[in-house]
Amino acid sequence: QVQLVESGGGLVQAGGSLRLSCAASGRSFSTHDMRWYRQAPGKEREFVAVSWKSGTTYYADSVKGRFTISRDNAKNTVYLQMNSLKPEDTAIYYCNAVNSGIGSWGQGTQVTVSS
């Protein structure tokens, strides 16, 4: 239902930080549950974090304590603050929005963490 565009990816050394953004266009952003997924080369896409429309958040064990998802409904944007990055965090990160069973995906943004 909404169009999503991710940004903020790049190359960073292990231990560094990046902040990903996902800008949404369309109506009723505040009613959408927002999620971040990632997919590394040769691996399946995996869940990273979710921000439900209520504001409650949840994280995959692999990123818990290091990543923070947040949203600014006034700006129609969801963020993923990524701290203490590890090489295993290297992947394409995708933004996902769901409203009443209807989902939308962004194009993805590359995150590369060097040793």
pLDDT tens digits for range 56-76: 999 999 999 999 999 999 999
DSSP E strand stretches across 1-115? 3-7, 10-13, 18-25, 33-39, 46-51, 57-59, 67-72, 77-82, 91-99, 102-105, 109-114
Check whether 1 has a pLDDT greater than 80: no
69 forms beta bridges with 80
Tell me the C-alpha to C-alpha distance, in Å, between residue 35 and each of 10, 11, 14, 20, 80.
20, 22, 24, 12, 10
CB contact at 8 A, 36 and 111: no
Cβ-based burial of 37 (10 A; exposed 0-12, middle 13-18, buried ≥19):
buried
pLDDT for 27 equals 79
Categorize the per-residue pLDDT at 42 as very low, low, confident or very high, splitting at 50, 70 and 90.
very high
